[in-house]
């Protein structure tokens, strides 16, 4: 993935962040997930007054992609105000689709750091553990 495409993925996550529904925490999150097909799926967090029913931006993007037939992912950009890292549920959801997924964690200015799903969730549980 070229430097330009990383920046484009971050820009799409920032755009998705603007659509977040976060009336309780005011912590808006956007995500952009790049599938192996070359298609990008975006998502934002959608809060609920019953907090456990809130869905994160990262999982929104994954669910959209999977529901449209995509199963292999190259990279995910996630954008928050302060460059916050994905939560544990999002890390496990990403891990379901591979340890080598590149994860770009961006702040509101678009500055980002790069990691992987494996680095975010070391010694993770996967389908192989069910054998």
The residues carrying an active-site annotation are: 58
Q: Give the angle subtended at the CA of 79 by the CAs of 33 and 74, to the nearest 5°.
A: 25
Which residue intervals of the chain are DSSP H helices? Answer: 3-17, 57-67, 88-96, 117-120
Q: Which residues contact 12 (CB under 8 A, 6 or more apart)?
A: 30, 32, 40, 42, 77
């Amino acid at each position: 993935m070229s430097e330009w495409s990383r920046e484009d993925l971050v820009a799409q996550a920032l755009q998705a962040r603007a659509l977040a529904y976060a009336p309780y925490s005011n912590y808006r999150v956007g995500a952009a997930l790049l599938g192996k097909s070359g298609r990008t799926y975006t998502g934002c967090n959608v809060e609920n007054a019953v907090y456990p029913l809130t869905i994160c931006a990262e999982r929104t993007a994954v669910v959209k992609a999977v529901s449209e037939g995509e199963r292999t992912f190259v990279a995910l950009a996630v954008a928050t105000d302060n460059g916050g890292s994905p939560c544990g549920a999002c890390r496990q959801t990403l891990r379901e689709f591979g340890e080598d997924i590149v994860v770009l964690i961006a702040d509101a200015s678009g500055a980002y750091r790069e990691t992987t799903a494996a680095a975010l969730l070391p010694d993770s549980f996967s389908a192989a553990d069910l054998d």
